[in-house]
Amino acid sequence: MTDHLTAQAHETPLPNWPEGLTRVPYWAFQREDVYGAEQERIFQGPAWHYLCLEADVPNAGDYRTTFVGDASVVVTRDADGAVNAFENRCAHRGALICLDEKGHGKKDFACVYHAWTYDLKGNLTGVAFQKGVKGKGGMPPTFRMSDHGPRQLRVATLHGLVFGTFAHDGPALDDYLGEEIHSRITRVLKDRKPVVLSRYTQALPNNWKLYIENVKDSYHASILHLFFTTFELNRLSQKGAIIVDESGGHHVSYSAIDRKGKTSSEDYAQQKIRSESGYRLADPSMLQGFDEFGDDVTLQILTVFPTFVLQQIQNAIAIRQITPRSPTETDLHWTILGFETDTPEERLVRLKQANLVGPAGFISMEDGCVGGFVQRGVAGAPREASVVEMGGHDAESSESRVTEASIRGFWKAWRAHMGL
């Protein structure tokens, strides 16, 4: 778990991508040149990226730093109440403009290196000694501050989420998400103010795409995670579905209590899957949640291409932001949410159910290590490919969750962005 697989710099051209959507060559998780191309074509290309919550920057002068791929980004609230985002990179010689993770009461940002100054929108407003000292030195007369500045992101908000993109001519956020995904975000976040209950980062020993594959993989959920199945949180025999958007890149997987059908454990027993352990909780209060949405949906996992996850597992609501660090390292930033309207009893349920997720999560602990198992497993096999054929060959929505359609969808969108 601790030894990071060193990625080789590849000079050789990329091998051809296999036909169809059901094979994913392992070099896609290994090569430096693929990682570099992703930064250009996806993270700085026409995709929208989660930046932070509006609640992270509630007042004028509030700021927070975040990442869009490799790029460090500053998010601010300005005096007009607008949310802005710009690269955390001084236009002069490239130093970080903002060294703090968050803060309040900023009127401007001054780079520590040479005190070039920026307003809350990221516009360059001051250059130290621009006119020189005593008539000597200084910037040439042709220098215009308006010609320089960190790149500013296009920003859009949705139910308290702040998204940004480097592409100023790409689709609007609403169009990018599409109606179905939009409505599923609305379901969780609409008309209530989130309260951050905790945040932490899980350092994953694998390529970022192995984590997103895992999130989109409803096939594994009830097999790898025994905690889920034993307590019938997510038996596949519950009713549920996978929604894959037209681009393939976004998805929703949900399951709901099937009040008509009987939840059978026979299917699991037949597959010899570890599902009948007889394991029971000494304190089952953790699983005694409250009906938050009135729709019997106990689980909704939603992804927005490339790296945003919104999770509802019972009353455990969280945002996961996936930040690639290298071909073989990924930071997973967790933000655990409650809401201002929570009663003390509801809040306690959220604190207890927060045990389900994160690096120590009863049902997500395995997701932290399984990507590393793959990264190590495929280390010597860049030209081999994974078999992503469960549920067929397409990337369409499905009423069965015994499918890898949303993984195929991810690769469909990834390849469209990458031109592969």
Partner 1 sequence: MQETSTQDLQALTFAIMRAQADYARCIDDDRLEEWPAFFLDPCLYMITTASNHRDGMEAGIVFANSRGMLKDRISALREANIYEKQAYRHILGAPCVLGEDEKGVRSETPFMVARIMRDGSTMLFATGRYLDTYRIEDGAALLAERLVVCDSSRIDTLLAIPL
The contact set with partner 1 (CB under 8 A) reads 1-3, 101, 196-205, 224-227, 230, 277, 279, 281-283, 285-286, 331, 336, 338, 347, 350-352, 354-355, 358-360, 362, 365-366, 368-370, 372
Least distance in Å: CB of 64 to partner 1?
Answer: 13
238-275 burial code (b ≥16 CB/10 A, e <16): bbbbbbbbebbbbbbbbbeeeeeeeeeeeebeeeeeeb
How far lies 320's CA from each of 303, 349, 358, 395, in Å?
A: 9, 20, 9, 23
Least distance in Å: CB of 192 to partner 1?
Answer: 17
Contact 240, 256 (CB under 8 A): yes
Least distance in Å: CB of 276 to partner 1?
Answer: 12
- Residue with the two structure tokens 């009461």: 105
Least distance in Å: CB of 83 to partner 1?
Answer: 21
| Torsion sign across C-alpha atoms 166, 170, 172, 175 | negative
The tokens describing 237, both together, are 């025999």
Indicate the residue among 36 and 377 with the shorter CB distance to partner 1. Answer: 377
Least distance in Å: CB of 221 to partner 1?
Answer: 13
Least distance in Å: CB of 296 to partner 1?
Answer: 25
Indicate the residue among 19 and 283 with the shorter CB distance to partner 1. Answer: 283
Contact 120, 108 (CB under 8 A): yes
Indicate the residue among 2 and 343 with the shorter CB distance to partner 1. Answer: 2
Indicate the residue among 302 and 354 with the shorter CB distance to partner 1. Answer: 354
Least distance in Å: CB of 99 to partner 1?
Answer: 15
Indicate the residue among 232 and 396 with the shorter CB distance to partner 1. Answer: 232
Taking the CA atoms of the chain, what radius of gyration do you get in angstroms?
Answer: 23
Indicate the residue among 204 and 319 with the shorter CB distance to partner 1. Answer: 204
Indicate the residue among 84 and 375 with the shorter CB distance to partner 1. Answer: 375
Asked, as a colleague might, if the bond just before 15 is cis with ω within 30 of 0, I would say no
CA within 13 Å, CB half, 300: 21
Helices (H), 156-278: 173-189, 208-216, 218-224, 226-230, 266-270
Indicate the residue among 229 and 397 with the shorter CB distance to partner 1. Answer: 229
The beta-strand segments (E) located in 130-213 are 154-158, 161-165, 194-204
Least distance in Å: CB of 115 to partner 1?
Answer: 28
Contact 360, 200 (CB under 8 A): no
